[in-house]
Amino acid sequence: MTDMELASHEWWERYKETVNDDPEMRVRGHDEFDANFYVEIGDERFLIQMDRGRVRDVVPNPGLNHRWEFGVEGSREAWEEFVRETPPPFNHEIIASHYRSAVRGEDGHLVLTGDNKRIFQNLRPFQRALDLMRVAHNGGGS
């Protein structure tokens, strides 16, 4: 594990490098992933602006002039579990985590929000982008 705090400026810079250097983001159509999405970690929101499968920018506290199609929200504790090198069951993958919150009504998991159609149209690269948070957090990637 790194000594960087989750969602710090340095952490997001490492995440951006990790995504942009990831060969998997460039295959199977991921180079068409242009959907902006947000990540809400506790009471902090970050807009991830994607351009052809690459992170163009991470905008903290996006305002009314920013656009996104979907997002994922959770407590800081849920995100800290998600980015562990070996996450606990149901916090290891976004669909499993969302199911536990939305369908089962359990606390402590991540929740998908926004345009469901766009989420599923972009599920593979979106899920890969989220999984790369774990890689960046644990010192992998660049």
Cβ count near 138 (within 10 Å): 14
Q: What is the pLDDT of residues 62-87, one digit of tens each?
A: 999 999 999 999 999 999 999 999 99
How sure is the predictor about 142, in pLDDT bands with cuts at 50, 70 and 90? low
3-state helix vs strand vs coil in the chain, percent to 5: 40, 20, 40
Q: What is the pLDDT of residues 98-125, one digit of tens each?
A: 988 888 888 889 999 999 999 999 999 9
In CATH, which superfamily holds the domain spanning 9-137? Answer: SCP2 sterol-binding domain (3.30.1050.10)
**Is the entire prediction scored with pTM above 0.85?**
yes
On whether the CB atoms of residues 38 and 68 are closer than 8 A, the answer is yes
Nearest-5° Cα angle at 40, 46 to 1:
85
How sure is the predictor about 1, in pLDDT bands with cuts at 50, 70 and 90? very low
Whole-number Å distance between alpha carbons of 103 and 113: 14
* Length, in residues, of the chain: 142
Of 103 and 142, the one with more pLDDT? 103
Of 4 and 67, the one with more pLDDT? 67
Give 93-98's long-range contacts (Cβ < 8 A, gap of 24+): 93/127, 93/131, 94/126, 94/127, 94/130, 95/127, 98/72
> Which residue ranges make up each domain of the chain?
9-137
